[in-house]
Amino acid sequence: LCFLLKDDQVLLALKKRGFGVGNLNGVGGKLKSDETPEIAAVREINEEIGVAVEVTHLEKSAEIEFYFPHKPEWNLFCHTYLVRKWNGEPSESDEMKPQWFSQSKLPFESMWADDPHWLPLVLAGKKVRASFSFDDKNTVTDKAVQEVLVL
């Protein structure tokens, strides 16, 4: 999961299909069998919003576990990165529609329910380890958020 930053803005993208459809989120996706999280992040950014990022420009900011007791196949471990340097302009794909938002006015009502608990910390430069459980309405039922020095 990656969040592009410029000035005081963060790039969120509307998920147009698949898991999380209808939510604004960072860009990212699943690792292929031969990929590291960083290589997958670079590939996904390019596929989803058409910009090129070098692995060295990924700033690891969080590790988050997501649990869906009603649908365990959705459980996932997420590596999260901030990106301040890239080539190209973010553009819409068949999967994501990118939009810039002020970091002080994030549209949490259109995002995943866990985001208000950790994303402001990450955008403020903190490193975070967290876990969230969701019910069948995607409401957070349990959470743990911890600031850490190193990920």
With a pLDDT cut of 70, the percent of the chain lying above it is: 100
Residue among 99, 87, 75, 76 nearest 27 (CA): 99
Composition of the chain by helix, strand, coil, percent to 5:
20, 40, 40
With a pLDDT cut of 90, the percent of the chain lying above it is: 98
pLDDT digits (tens, 9 = 90+) for 21-70: 999 999 999 999 999 999 999 999 999 999 999 999 999 999 999 999 99
The DSSP letter of residue 124 is: T
pLDDT digits (tens, 9 = 90+) for 60-98: 999 999 999 999 999 999 999 999 999 999 999 999 999
Report, as an integer, the average pLDDT of 121-129.
98
Residue among 46, 48, 42, 50 nearest 89 (CA): 50
The Cα 122–Cα 7 span in angstroms is 15
CA angle 119-112-32, nearest 5°? 85
Largest CA distance in the chain: 40
